Structure formats: C-alpha cells, structure tokens
Structure 1
Amino acid sequence: MSRIIMCLLVLVCVTISTPALATQKVPNDHRALAGMTTGKAVFDVNISSAQSMLMFFNVIEKTVVTLKDQGVKPDFIITLRGAAVSIVSKDSEFNSEEDETALIKKISDLKQQGVYFEACNVAADLFAVDTADLFPGVVLVGNTFASLIGYQNQGYALIPLY
C-alpha cells in the first residue's frame, strides 16, 4: 500500500513540475538591448594579474557571443593601462610562459571577433615596458585616459575592470 502511495506522490510531483519546467525561459537581455543594433563598450583594464586578465578576457568573449546571439553587433575596445600594459608585453615579470601564451592566443581570438586593443604609452613609460614587446594586436596610444574620454564622448559604455 505504501509503495502505491509513494508512486502516486512521485507521479503527482512530476506532473506538476513538468509544465513549470517547460515554461522556463532561457535568460536573455532583451529589455536592456531593446532597439539596439550595435553594442558599444570600452573596457578600462588596469589589472596586475595575468590570470585575472585572462578571466576578464574570457567574460568579454562570452559577452561578444551573448550580444551576437541577441541580434546586437558588438563594438568593443579594450584599453590597457597601469600594470596591465606590462602584462601584455613579452617577458613580463607578471607572467609565466603559460600565461603569456594564453594571453597572446586570447587577444588573437578576440581580435578575430572584432575587439580592438590599445595600450597606454604613459603606463609603458612608468612600468619601463619596451613598446616593441607588446603582444601582437595591441596598439600603442599616447594616453588611454584621453582614449577613454574620447570613446565615452562617442557613446561607448565604460566598463571598468580593476
């Protein structure tokens, strides 16, 4: 008798929960992205850890996919300043060989998806970075503070990554 009651309870639970599961929607950003065709963002990166930078670059890559999947073309710029400039240069004291290889690959992958990278010359001077050693795909600019001012005035959303 108790087996019959247990089976009936399981059947009732499954029957009740199945419609609830069927009506669950995949999370999306339609409200925030309503009417947008292009998502303009400038990422202000001032990180002194290669592992943190890789994690943020992975999240940026997921954001590219998220926007594309929702019909919005990403227009992303990554500005690197402070110690972050050292991290995106060869033989950095902040990087292991594995970190350097992973960062070069991730930058290349993001560039192929249309992400633009720039490094601050002021920071390069402060951190004694030989600008010839910047990773491929990273463009040297005079001052990323000036870049951030310009991009925000052009309508790019500022996303600080510290």
Structure 2
Amino acid sequence: MPFPTQTLKTLLIGSALSLLSFHTLTAQAGDANLNNQAALKGISEIYTLYDVRKANPNVMLSYLKGIESNYNNLLKEKVKPHLRIIFISSAVQFITTKPADNIEMEYGDTLKSIANQIARLKDIGVKMEACSTATAYFNVDNDTLLPGIVPVRSGFLSVMGWQAQGYSLVPVY
C-alpha cells in the first residue's frame, strides 16, 4: 500500500495531467478550421443520450465537461442539441449532496467540481436521470441527487426508451 504522501502526489499529478490534457484537447477542438459538416450535413437538430457509468470521478468530470463542449460545438455547427444523460452503476456515487464518507474524503474537491458542472449542464438544458437500481445498490438516497437529476426506476429502461424515441446512444464507460 502506498504511503499517504505518495497517494496524494499521484492524485495531484494525475489531476494536473487530466486538466492539461482536457485544456489541450479543448483548444485543438476549438480550431476555427475544424468542423463536422460532413457528418452533420442536412441535420438541423440532434438527439443524444449519454450513458455515463464512470467509476472514477476525475475522469467522469472530464467527460461532463466534454458534454458541455459537444453542446457548444453543435451550436457552432448550427445544429440544435437535445442532450440527455443517464447515470448508471458506480457513477451515481458522485452525483449526490451526501456522498459516502470514504468518497468525500478521497474526492471532495472533484465532487464539488462535478456538482458545479452538473449545474452548468442543467442551465444549458441538458436533461439528466439517475438509475435507482444503482442508487439503491450504492446506498445513495434519491432525495440527495444533485439538482436537475431525476431518479428513474431503471437506467437500462431509460436507455431503451430514449433510443426508441430517436436518441442516439453515446456510451461513456
């Protein structure tokens, strides 16, 4: 088992590299010469469902920021986005106002950043759900889900239902 200072050092280096990588990727994706015109030809609206199952909150945060970036890039491409997120599996541990003590101790700052990012996504109109089977399994009280996240009976049923209604699935495993 690593010493606490080694764990902290590894966490800090990993977080810094994640942020640097995300910033670099975002800057590159923002290049004015890049576009998705071929893929989006003739599309004025798009319906997308992100199935989020990340077990690492630092990685999950990066993907949540990426979803906001996708929203903004769709607008740049003149496509109206209709985005949804379903949180399934261990990801539900990171979208509560009352995380387990061990999660809070290890990832407190990241959890605050996730809450802020969820609020940003809610503000731009992203609809969000959480699988109650997962919340029950991970002892997350549905009443403590972050604002904007609606508990549903089954995340899998949501995936099936939204796809049947025309939403394209983007797995975030």
| TM-score bracket relative to the smaller structure | 0.7 to 0.9
Indicate if the aligned counterparts of 1:121 and 1:143 stay in contact, CA closer than 8 A.
Answer: yes
SS at 2:33's partner residue? coil
**TM-score, normalisation: structure 1:** 0.81
The residue number in structure 2 matching 1:68 is: 75
The residue number in structure 2 matching 1:77 is: 84
Residue 94 of structure 1: how far off its partner (Å): 3.1
**TM-score, normalisation: structure 2:** 0.76
Q: How does 1:13-28 map to 2 (within 5 A)?
A: 26-28=33-35
Q: How does 1:96-111 map to 2 (within 5 A)?
A: 96-111=107-122
What is the one-letter code of the residue matched to 1:141? V
2:50 corresponds to 1:37: no
Query: 5+ residue gaps in structure 1?
Result: 1-24
Query: 5+ residue gaps in structure 2?
Result: 1-31
Give aligned pairs, total: 139
Residue 82 of structure 1: how far off its partner (Å): 0.5
d(CA) in 2 for partners of 1:70, 1:116: 21
2:123 corresponds to 1:112: yes
Q: Deviations over 1:69-92 (max 9, x none)?
A: 011011000000101111111232
d(CA) in 2 for partners of 1:65, 1:29: 13
d(CA) in 2 for partners of 1:33, 1:105: 30
Residue 100 of structure 1: how far off its partner (Å): 1.9
Q: How does 1:42-61 map to 2 (within 5 A)?
A: 42-61=49-68
Q: How does 1:133-152 map to 2 (within 5 A)?
A: 133-152=144-163
Q: Deviations over 1:34-58 (max 9, x none)?
A: 1111111100011111111110011
Percent identity over the alignment is: 32
SS at 2:103's partner residue? coil
d(CA) in 2 for partners of 1:49, 1:133: 20
What is the one-letter code of the residue matched to 2:64? F
Give the root-mean-square deviation of aligned CA atoms: 1.5
- CA radius of gyration, larger in: 1
d(CA) in 2 for partners of 1:157, 1:141: 19
Among 140, 147, 171, the residue aligned to 1:160 = 171
